[in-house]
Amino acid sequence: MMQPTTFEIASYAQYPSHHQAQSLSLAQQSLQLAWSDGHQSEFHYLWLRDNCPCSECVSTLTREQLFEICDVPLDLQPQQAQLQDGYLTILWEDGHRSRYHPGWLRAHCYAEAMRATRQWQAQSWDRDSIREALPEFDYAEVMEDDRALLDWLRLLRDWGISLLRQVDTTPGTLLKVANRISFIRETNFGTVFDVQAKPDANTAAYTNLRLPLHTDLPTRELQPGLQFLHCLANDAEGGESILVDGFRIAEHMREHYPDEFAALSSLPMEFHNKDRHSDYRFSAPALQLNRAGQVVEVRLANFLRGPLDLPADQVLRHYRAYRTFIALTREPVFQFFYRLSPGDLLVFDNRRVLHARRAFDLRQGRRHLQGCYVDRDELLSRIRVLERQG
């Protein structure tokens, strides 16, 4: 007899069965499933045993695994495996029974072709393409409608930039928007930060000076993910925002300056941020690649660099590469200019999009932005939960 199975699937997501599992063949360490569309999946016995969703293996309270894969033999074999009503069922040699949902199985197939379809692709941009494609949303809609929220978050994930309009200019409103995603990432600059010229500025953002293109807090191991910049007032002269897609510039470098690209993605730079009460330092390459070689993070702020600490024969190589990147960020073809108006809320991926500001002159008026951060983990979790609703 089957033990009582509370869940067909241990997760909360849904896995519609677009394809039927049609036949089964067993080999020494794995079985092969043939699907109605001709696709073939190989599943190793150990992998299958590890993913048994029954209530003995997975807690019905927390949906976390109770079973430990250590506790069965490495060469565990099925005594019997069959397709029943489209489900794969296995009786293991130790008497345990498992039953697998076909939609779940297909979604987790690790054949190369299926793995490739699960790869995320960024949508990169330059001045001309973002002018046409900038994702813009209405504040009220995003606050009230989960469908609009999901649309916004997906575009933000893929383009790395977005603009909300007609946002209430009451201070603190950006938190309400950020909380539509999740909690705020606190940093050494607090939770909400006021971007205003301050007499006791401990960082360049809090002066009226020009800020060159940079990511925020490259001095922290995990740079903040999404940056929110909410404009409350802006009638000072100057202070225009400039944004560039760091991924696009990195790809341009990879193509046209391959050694400079290799240097920036392998040689660590030093990032320092010190004031009277803190002394943050982190060492990492400016460009971080994933295992597939895609650029997944840019880390850069000229004014937060510490003394380079590389083997002597790499020092000039680094400077050549760094200067090439900075020179590219200054190319107008990459630069999206935007003058924030009160009620605008710019949200962008701080680990990808570099931002800058021109100097401003307070004799003509006020300039007050509020900012906060939400991490990538929260963005992606929120998207997944919203997608559960179908």
Give yes or no for residue 24 binding a second copy (CB under 8 A).
Answer: no
Name the helix (H) or strand (E) containing 317: helix 315-329
Burial of 338 (0-12, 13-18, 19+ CB in 10 A): middle
Near a second copy by CB under 8 A, which window of 153-161, 169-177, 269-277, 362-370? 269-277
Give one DSSP letter per residue of 294-305, joined into a string. Answer: -EEEE---GGGB
Longest dimension (CA), the chain: 82
Site for a second copy in 56-75 (CB under 8 A): 59, 61-66, 68-70, 74
Contact 229, 345 (CB under 8 A): yes
Site string for a second copy, 101-120 (x = CB under 8 A): -------x-xxx--x--x--
Q: In this structure, what DSSP letter does residue 274 have? A: E
Residue range at the interface with a second copy (CB under 8 A); choices 89-97, 240-248, 276-284, 341-349: 276-284
What 3-state class would DSSP assign to 314?
Answer: helix
Q: Is 360 in the site for a second copy (CB under 8 A)?
A: no
Among positions 18, 147, 256, 281, the unique one binding a second copy when judged by CB under 8 A: 281
Positions 4 through 23 that interact with a second copy (CB under 8 A): 11-13
Q: Which stretch binds a second copy (CB under 8 A): 77-85, 301-309, 332-340, 355-363?
A: 301-309
Return the number of the residue (186 or 237) whose C-beta is nearest a second copy.
186
The conformational region for residue 160 under phi > 0 = left, psi -120 to 50 = alpha, else beta, is left
Instruction: Tell me which of 55, 179, 278, 364 binds a second copy, using CB under 8 A.
Output: 278
Determine which residue in the list 19, 44, 127, 368 makes contact with a second copy, applying CB under 8 A.
Answer: 44
- The nearer residue to a second copy, 148 or 359, going by C-beta atoms, is 359
Should residue 282 be labelled a site residue for a second copy when binding is judged by CB under 8 A? yes
- How many residues of this chain interact with a second copy, rule: CB under 8 A? 86
Residues 122-181 that bind a second copy (CB under 8 A): none
Q: What is the dihedral of CA 158, 159, 165, 171, to 10 degrees?
A: 80
Instruction: List the one residue from 29, 169, 288, 294 that touches a second copy (CB under 8 A).
Output: 29
Q: How far is the CB of 132 from a second copy (least distance, A)?
A: 30
CB of 148 to a second copy, least distance (A): 19
- How deeply is 121 buried, as exposed, middle or buried, from its count of CB atoms within 10 A (0-12, 13-18, 19+)? exposed
Beta carbon nearer to a second copy, 214 or 254: 214
Count of Cβ atoms closer than 10 Å to residue 357 Cβ = 24
Residue 114 is which amino acid? M
318-357 residues near a second copy, rule: CB under 8 A:
319-320, 322-323, 326-327, 330
Question: Looking at 12-135, which runs of residues are DSSP E strands?
Answer: 21-26, 30-35, 40-44, 78-84, 87-92, 97-100
Establish if 203 lies at the interface with a second copy (CB under 8 A). Answer: yes
94: number of Cβ within 10 Å: 12
Interacting stretch for a second copy, rule CB under 8 A, among 146-154, 172-180, 252-260, 375-383?
375-383
Single-letter amino acid code for the residue at 70: C
Rounded CA-CA distance 319/294 in Å is: 23
Task: Give the span between the Cα atoms of 53 and 63, in whole angstroms.
Answer: 9
Q: Does 222 bind a second copy (CB under 8 A)?
A: yes
Q: H/E element holding 139?
A: helix 139-144
